[in-house]
Chain A
Amino acid sequence: MSSIILEARDLRYRYPRGLEAISGISFHIRKKEKIALVGPNGAGKSTLLMMFNGMILPDSGIILFDNETIRYDTASLRMLRKRVGFVLQNPDRQIIAPTVYQDVAFGPTNLGFNESGVKEAVTLALRHVGLEGFERRPPHQLSGGEKKRVAIAGVLAMDPDVLVLDEPTSGLDPSGSEDIMELLDELNHDGKTIIISTHDVELAYPWADRAILMLGGKILQEDIPEVAFGNPEYIRRAHLSLPTLLELHRELQNRGFLLQGKKPRTVLDMMHCFETLLKKTCCHVRPGAITICNVDRHDRELLLLWRSMHPTLSTGAMGTRAKQRAENEQMSLDFTYGVIDKCILKALLGEDSLILTTESMVSRVYQRVDTYGRESGIRIPVKQLDDGTQPVTENVGSVK
């Protein structure tokens, strides 16, 4: 387990008008964790989040950042806010400058970067969120999802260790929400701790490492999502709804089906449950292969050639730059969210698939497929994109 980055000890906060928003909260968050704070409106989520970067001062209790108590003098707050980036719920309120470039540059400029440093930080941040070329656009011309990305880029430009997002998916369409969640995943993969507050149980459930259920300024439950979202009584009290997969799992159990293993978090897990339940695999004798195309390394011609040789292939893109690349090449994508799982599902049907992804995410594909292989005993071949002339040779076949 990695070390603790944020810790709260018995936080209490009362609004000036006398309502107690936070009444005795203690918890800790480890480095590189993905935390989802869920609860009904008025549970104190936003108030709690605002305490993480010192925007709200608790009445009592302390917050530790990197094992040091937060101090509220100007210099310490500056340091804290550089390291804990906060993205407001409403991007219109977060974006303050008249152009995208200026807004993203706001943080670095105030941190005292020189001109080239600012430019570099802005370029990097915009690249991260997939908004290259938007520098001179005024924010009021952007769509909701794009504004959200600008807001995130504005915080990323300060290179924080912890990213706190208040309702990152509110007001976005489903695919926009998924894109944002994937972006957060990608950032987490790059080593950032991510804390979000949300009502969207379906999105938070597969995404989070840990979920914190809040109600009336207190923590109702704090655990891995399977447990935190698995208690119908708590879910009801917190005005949420059970994730569909968990509900399905519960209903199957209520009907006397013995489901082994852990509770399902993804469709893939659920498939695995069914397969063990029916004591047979739906998998073809020979699972399909997953090919990875690293958009940072593989060149365009190779990809196009490969695509033209496999025209019916299902394609997924993981990561912002990969998606952008696909858009540039006018490739239609079959999957843009939960790509690895969907490709594994395809492979189980005996179909091949292609994943476009970025340098840093390649290892993740291997990891996920490996983990799945260990759990299910089915080994799915994964290979990097080559010239495509020779057939798949490595790791072929299922080892049952």
Chain B
Amino acid sequence: MKLFEHRAKQVLKEYGIPVPEGFVVASPDQITSVTGPVMVKAHALTGGRGKAGGIKPADTVDEARKAASAIIGMSIHGYTVKEVLVERRLEISKELYLSITVDRSRRCLMFMASANGGVDIEGVPEKDILMLPVDPLIGYQPFVGRKVATFLGLSNDKASQVTSICQSLYNLASKEDAELVEINPLVVARDGQIIAGDAKINIDSDALFRHSEYSRLEEDLTPLEKKAKELDIAFVQLDGNIGVIANGAGLTMATLDSINMYGGKAGVFLDLGGTDDPVKVKNAMLLMKEAGPRVILLNIFGGITKCDTVAKGVLEAMKAGRIAVPIVARIKGVNEEMAREMLRDAGLIPASGLSEAAEKASQVSLR
């Protein structure tokens, strides 16, 4: 899960990384004083805020309020801005890029650094970006930070500041289970201090069981997304009219690919994951009903999720929710005979293979 900038900067600060002082407000009149020049920044969990007009400078309380009222309520890449961060404006001498993330290929944490930080980092040539994996058995040692500082062309005091920031980033990623900590720009200020101009932190959602402090944070979700999250169901809204319920990410994607092949378009998909609980299946069906598709395509290959469990959940949902749209059901795998027997009189449209199910659902959706 992504942390808002202000929260992310608080975490950086707890780990000893310098950040500019700031505060968050939800309405302009909550700004009562500013001590010197500030930046008013949209609090949104998305990049490209500056280019979208979501970051404005201000020198007085009046200017800060004016900036805040322009930014609050604006929409950036589909996110509606609810709050702004008002923070001390940095006097920038140079913008660097520094992050730590997971290196999937080498199976370890990896530092990434560039002397060309700022908004156009993705356009920086590969040779100007350092990718430095950290051997998990060796762990972070100061030589790692020294390599980063050298690559960034820093020496003396600035090099030791960056080395210390690298140590903090590694500690943070390990102890807080952050799968990404990105500081862009990492600002070299005119007075020589190296300080985080922005901060993105993604906490590994699989590690929330040992980080209850993050699980209570608010996220920017639609009502249906919120409900799906509470029910622990992966939910994605698309723009077609077939509602897909499948189990497992790969099978769900293969189902979308198959629908596409037969001219249909998925409107929403729910991935049940590896559940064996009929209540979760029932909840998924009722959630799907709320999403309002033209037809539901249920594609289950039973393993951990047994077919009779799915059948039980479907029957309970139909009893509780009067689902009026046609349901194409393809249920295969562990206990499929039991499921077929249970669903015989339920009025579903049966399909024996994935292609057949995709074809039938697409036909109904185009009717």
Query: Is this pair of chains taken from one and the same complex?
Result: no
Residues of B within 8 A of A (CB): none
Residues of A within 8 A of B (CB): none
